[in-house]
Structure 1
Amino acid sequence: MTAALLFWSCIALVAWAYAGYPLLAALLARRYGHAPFQDADDCEHVTVVVAAFDEEARIAARVRDILMQDYPADRLQVLVVSDGSRDGTARAAASVHDERVRVLDLPHNVGKAAALTLALGHVDTPLVAFTDVRQRFSPGALRALCAPFADPAVGAVSGELVIAAADHGTGEGVGLYWRMEKRLRSDEARLGWLHGVSGSIHALRRTLFVSIPAGTVLDDMWMPLHVLRSGHRVWMVRDALAFDRASHSVDEEFQRKLRTLAGNWQLVARLPWLVNPFGNPVFFAWFSHKFLRLLVPWALLVALAACAFADGPVYRMLFGLQLLAYAGALGGLVLPRLAARLPLLPAASSFVMLNFAALLSLPASLAMDPSRLWKKH
């Protein structure tokens, strides 16, 4: 393979992952996509599970926020799992005097995945919803989240995470990436291809829950993937909103992304059927959306090297433009407030940051337990 052919092959891979596949999904969703039957008045009994670790300061407010949902009070329960907290998390959760609130106080820290699995042993409602301590729900979020379960084909439902603007320049770029990601997930849902949910707001039928191995990073992919494999559908409700703040710094955002991407490699190791086109019911979508994005940074590096060795003035110009673009993006990471004043630079900086995390995700997942990549904040 010549250097020029190698260059264009790598560019094609990047273009498909970030533009071609999302465009195809959008076109197919418009032509063939369909929504399940939904009934917002048919509110099934639901338990909202909140896993918490050292959240004494925030857990009571989070529980009250859930209890204030526009949902029939006699059909709503809250189960707080204090995962071996070293502070008064369990005590603070129990201070919300409401018979619908239960607290499971684990004696030792077992990690979120194992804590959720233990919690499900204490859930007896047909539906179970999941959220984190950080977020807050819109008033009708839970009702909207549970409405699609009126369709028996639906096994899991994702809400939508709304991230408040950050005070650093790259927040604009990350926000653009997140808006594109949510649109792609919505299109995948209409096609029956959705294979990930928002960990901050999602629900599933309790009978479809599959125990999550301890140390699993992406519980919000483990659950919907098993729902799909059971023959049920994963849907996304864009009216079921959870609100969160953006990362305070580029480093914090980088660590979040590194954890997520390392978790994707971990899933491949723990669920080998993902790479089997005949065993994975959404192989095409998973491969195009998740797996190729793990390969993009490697393709970018090969494209840069191939361009340097390709003959002709066009490739010398493209090589120079790549170097200039990377230099500008890195400058935007170093000086985010200045970059915010320049069109497209925040998006370029975020693209480089996200792909640097993807580049490190494979060695990180091999060198350590990816669950330790999460930094509490």
Structure 2
Amino acid sequence: MNQRPDGRNVDFQHRYERAYAPPRPDAARGMAPQRPVVPPQPRGGGPYYAGPPPRRGGKFKRILISVLVILLVVSVGTYFWADSKLRKEADLSTVIDRPEEGDGTNYLIVGSDSREGMSAQQRKDLHTGGSAEAGKRTDSMMILHVGSNGPTLISLPRDSNVTIPEFQGSESGKMRPAMGPNKLNAAYAYDGPQLLTRTVEYNTGLHIDHYAEIGFTGFAGIVDAMGGVEMNIEKGFKDDKSGADFEAGRQTLNGQQSLAFVRSRYAFTGSDLDRTKNQQKFLAALANQAAAPGTLLNPFELYPVMGAGLDTLIVDKDMNPYLLGKMFLAMKDVNSGAGKSMNMPVSGSVGGNLQWDQAKVKQLVNELKNDEKVTVTSDQ
């Protein structure tokens, strides 16, 4: 067996070349040379194997998968971070004699005058008065119904004349007797979120699914973290008690101005009823701006806004960031005209407190329970 210097077998090489060499041309018959037969190329990486063809788009796919994984990790981390920041202090499971659940979801949204965490200078700047340890009251109360016929936002005037029924004390767990007719905001002052929820359910017959409350500090902090909220004030007004001093026109309100705007009542002839309308307009504008892509997709805006509000946001024990997000998106829809905002229908006053129109309230609650389009008007 002959060996070449490179170690290959000479006889085998010759036989290989003869087997696959092109046939010689036959001059007598005028035949042209045929195309050579290409020998099969070995898959094991022999001299004729150039390897697999390059895959197109492989690098792009790897980058895309990496980005999606990062976004998933960030989203999940943000969800659990936000959930851990929520103050789940309202235990609605202790509320007694609750109405049956209806279709859709009902949120009780409360703005309290809590001064928790505020310095003396902040209380002065925000015109809140009182001290950090002062008892809390409700400055605003709203029911937000989210269903298949668009959201409905209903303000409950704090001076509404309602019956405070018997209830189970949130701290003692003992049953407390009914207090009879009183202002709606007195229920919160007596025993906090649970009694307020109990009183709203008792006087409306509407089941409350979730509770959300924010105090002065958190409210102003959210607005400032967003860089202000743009509002179109139709008519200028001034209120020394709240610190409000606004001219008519479109303008951006900072945290201090926003708090003055939603708290003002003495500058209006309708007092609390006019104030609730301003509160609805502002909260809808706030939700519209907070849920805008420019905020949600910008971490440098999203996280400061969330951080400013979550620490001071008191919710029920079953609330989570997903449900909270649905609440804000529904309020955004109210602002865009896809929903409805109104006051609780009022028929007059009793002892200076607003008396609800019971016939309209019953019709309104039935429409909400059945998740129907709301046709009731407040005439206010």
User: TM-score if structure 2 supplies the norm length?
Assistant: 0.23
Structure number, greater radius of gyration: 2
User: TM-score if structure 1 supplies the norm length?
Assistant: 0.23
- Structure number with the higher helix fraction is 1
